[in-house]
Amino acid sequence: MSGASRSVAEIMSQPVVTASGAQSVADASARMREQEVGSVVVVDGDRPVGILTERDLVRMSAAGGAPTDTVAQWMTADPDSVAPDVDAVTAFATLAEHGYRHIPVVDDGRLVGIVSMRDLMRIAQIQPAENLAHEVPRGLEGVVVAETRIGDVRGTEGFYHYRQYNAVELAETRSLEDVWYLMHHGELPTMPERAAFAAEVRSLRCIPAEVQSALPEIARVASHAPPLDLLRTTLSLIGAALGFRPSLDLSAVELHEQAMRVCAVVPTLLCALYRLQHDLEVVEPRPDLAYAANYLYMMSGDVPSAEHARGVEQYLISTIDHGFNASTFTARVITSTGADLVAAVVGAIGALSGPLHGGAPSRALDMLDAIGTIDKADAWLRDAVERGDRLMGFGHRVYKTDDPRSVMLRSVAERLGGPRVELAKQVEQAAIDVLAELKPGRKLYTNVEFYAGVVMDTCGVSRDMFTPTFASSRVIGWTAHILEQAADNRLIRPSAQYVGVPPPQPVPPAG
Ligand SMILES: CC(C)(COP(=O)(O)OP(=O)(O)OC[C@H]1O[C@@H](n2cnc3c(N)ncnc32)[C@H](O)[C@@H]1OP(=O)(O)O)[C@@H](O)C(=O)NCCC(=O)NCCS
């Protein structure tokens, strides 16, 4: 290891970001975010008495702690420390052995710095896989795998944001095109920028002629396939027809142009496939209609009411991005190989199609239909959970409190009215009660998918188009991440812990 001769004092970070035990966890985690560090050392004067790490925050959220809890309640008390004159190899071994990511540097009882696994790896090119594999949580829960400026989700606070803005506020006050601009340019558009952007993206809505002419045959061959599967296939075809090249070989400007093209064409492609599958004539996009109104128009052939267009638009805005969800991560992994932009989007569509990710809203509506009336809800839900089924539209990897998207969509559903809203609200409460009783401590609440189905159904989106509609907005988020990954790329190539039969076993003779 090349860092063997360097001491901890030479590589440690200072000043250390500290907190007091009496401070609230919310304050401490805000400080961690501001300072871009993964832990704070809890001090009494200049003496370290504990450490609060991102992992403690995950533990706290899983155990139902509140942001108002004190740091002392959730910190790891009396943390191990390292002396400044210890060499980097020994410090690395201590971190790896205990599974720590950060270790305070203490000289004569006084806190003088902090050394992180990242610091050590930066100087030492250590291969940590075999030492660290045991500490990776299943499903990578809580593991930070990248830095991003696009947005984030704060699970314990029930808050998420796009760039610097509260995403729910954007969905309540802005158009989809404004938020699309924000995701790709980092700022909301000024009035002239808004007009120029609308003109730019509306002109990109048309399907390339060579692909358009192949669509009827594709829809015929796979007439019963979910529209999302057909989107995957036909988007691949568009990438090939337009000659999309590996992102590694493209400039940021070229990649941005491709991203705009793909985001603009996805709704058109989806609606064309949907109509062809239903033996209907394809409806061309209308440049005078804004995104959501045009989407509903291309799907149904009728210009929607302003209320329905706005309801769908709010849903679309609220689902553009959501932290490092499975499909976004997939898009970034594929981009990290330098593959072309469409390859990354197609991979992301595959990830989104799973019921544990984006495939839930139609199932949530199916559940409402199966329950039928509120008097049957408790028994139906209880039975499902006792059987080991998951209630679709409930639970979330990150949110351990209300999903802000479900809160917003509930109010959109109430505003729009419709036959299912009252039943949905009552079933929601019954489901939360049943989950609290049968899955205590898991903190299972309504997620985005529950009211998504209700809203889309009221606005005339058919059930098989729910997840595709989700994809048509999420592609804006995926491509923002693709561009960010490509702009500062390193191949994402993690490791796994081998737990199979110990090798090498003798290879038996063939035959
Ligand atoms: C979204 C989801 C995949 C998150 O899963 P996760 O963070 O990996 O949570 P886990 O699968 O570890 O579940 C933790 C516990 O809660 C239970 N649980 C989670 N969601 C549940 C649900 N919707 N219904 C019933 N039980 C649920 C699990 O059975 C598990 O119980 P156990 O401890 O007895 O084994 C999960 O909540 C789910 O399957 N929800 C339903 C599908 C859905 O709505 N998807 C859309 C997501 S936006």
Q: Is the CB of 185 under 6 A from ligand 1?
A: no
**9 C-alpha to center of ligand 1: Å?**
45
Q: Is the peptide bond before 285 cis (omega within 30 degrees of 0)?
A: no
Tell whether pTM > 0.85: no
Determine the Cα–Cα distance for residues 102 and 94; give it in Å rounded to an integer. 10
> Letter for the amino acid at 405?
R
Q: Is the pLDDT of residue 505 over 90?
A: yes
Residues 6 or more apart in contact with residue 40 via CB below 8 angstroms:
17, 18, 19, 28, 31, 32, 51, 52, 71
Predicted local confidence at residue 134, as pLDDT: 52
Q: Is the CB of 449 under 6 A from ligand 1?
A: yes
Name residue, tokens 């996009």: 285
Residue 444, classified by CB atoms within 10 Å of its CB into exposed (0-12), middle (13-18) or buried (19+), is buried
Predicted local confidence at residue 425, as pLDDT: 97
As a whole number, mean pLDDT of residues 87-95 equals: 78
Pick from 141, 365, 438, 439 the residue to mutate for probing ligand 1's pocket: most ligand atoms within 8 Å of its CB.
439
pLDDT category at 5 given cuts 50, 70, 90 is low
Which atom of ligand 1 is closest in space to residue 395's alpha carbon? Answer: 37
- Among protein residues, the one with the nearest Cα to ligand 1's atom 2 is 396
Give the rounded percent of residues in the chain with a pLDDT score beyond 70. 96
Q: Which residues pair with 87 in a beta bridge?
A: 7
| 280-302 residue pLDDT tens | 999 999 999 999 999 999 999 99
Predicted local confidence at residue 30, as pLDDT: 87
Residues 6 or more apart in contact with residue 347 via CB below 8 angstroms:
330, 331, 333, 334
**396 C-alpha to center of ligand 1: Å?**
7
Determine the Cα–Cα distance for residues 155 and 400; give it in Å rounded to an integer. 6
| 437-470 residue pLDDT tens | 999 999 999 999 999 999 999 999 999 999 999 9
Determine the Cα–Cα distance for residues 341 and 486; give it in Å rounded to an integer. 10
Predicted local confidence at residue 102, as pLDDT: 85
Measure the CA angle with vertex 145, ends 15 and 111; round to 5°.
Answer: 20
449 is annotated as an active-site residue? yes
Predicted local confidence at residue 13, as pLDDT: 85
Q: Is the CB of 400 under 6 A from ligand 1?
A: no
Q: Is the pLDDT of residue 63 over 60?
A: yes
Determine the Cα–Cα distance for residues 301 and 157; give it in Å rounded to an integer. 41
Predicted local confidence at residue 123, as pLDDT: 66
Measure the CA angle with vertex 85, ends 82 and 90; round to 5°.
Answer: 55
| 374-411 residue pLDDT tens | 999 999 999 999 999 999 999 999 998 889 999 999 99
pLDDT category at 258 given cuts 50, 70, 90 is very high
Q: Is the CB of 323 under 6 A from ligand 1?
A: no
Q: Which residues pair with 160 in a beta bridge?
A: 153
Predicted local confidence at residue 355, as pLDDT: 84
* Of the candidate ranges 27-31, 103-107, 169-173, 213-217, the one whose mean pLDDT is the lowest: 27-31
Q: Is the CB of 227 under 6 A from ligand 1?
A: no
For 160, phi then psi, to 5°, come to: -145, 155
Chain mean pLDDT for the chain: 92
Which atom of ligand 1 is closest in space to residue 141's alpha carbon? Answer: 7
Predicted local confidence at residue 384, as pLDDT: 97
**327 C-alpha to center of ligand 1: Å?**
17
pLDDT category at 4 given cuts 50, 70, 90 is very low
**190 C-alpha to center of ligand 1: Å?**
42
Q: What DSSP state is assigned to residue 70?
A: B
- Among protein residues, the one with the nearest Cα to ligand 1's atom 47 is 357
Predicted local confidence at residue 127, as pLDDT: 46
Give the orientation angle of helix 252-277 with respect to helix 227-241, to 10 degrees. Answer: 140
User: Among residues 357, 396, 428, 481, which one is catalytic?
Assistant: 396
Pairs from 45-50 (Cβ < 8 Å, separation ≥ 24): 46/110, 46/111, 47/109, 47/110, 47/111, 48/79, 48/81, 48/104, 48/106, 48/111, 49/21, 49/77, 49/78, 50/21, 50/75, 50/76, 50/77, 50/78, 50/79
Return the half-sphere exposure (C-beta side, CA atoms, 13 A cut-off) of residue 288. 1
Residue 89 in tokens: 């190899």
Q: Is the pLDDT of residue 1 over 50?
A: no
Helix-, strand-, coil-residue percentages of the chain, each rounded to 5: 55, 10, 35
8 A C-beta contact, residue 29 and residue 109: no
Q: Is the pLDDT of residue 91 over 90?
A: no
Q: Is the CB of 58 under 6 A from ligand 1?
A: no
Q: Is the CB of 396 under 6 A from ligand 1?
A: yes
Residue 505, classified by CB atoms within 10 Å of its CB into exposed (0-12), middle (13-18) or buried (19+), is exposed
| 325-340 residue pLDDT tens | 999 999 999 999 999 9
Q: Is the CB of 442 under 6 A from ligand 1?
A: yes
**442 C-alpha to center of ligand 1: Å?**
9
| 152-167 residue pLDDT tens | 999 989 999 999 999 9
Q: Which DSSP string corresponds to 222-244? A: TTTS-HHHHHHHHHHHHHHHTTP
Q: Is the CB of 8 under 6 A from ligand 1?
A: no
76-77 and 165-166 as β-strands: parallel, antiparallel, unpaired? unpaired
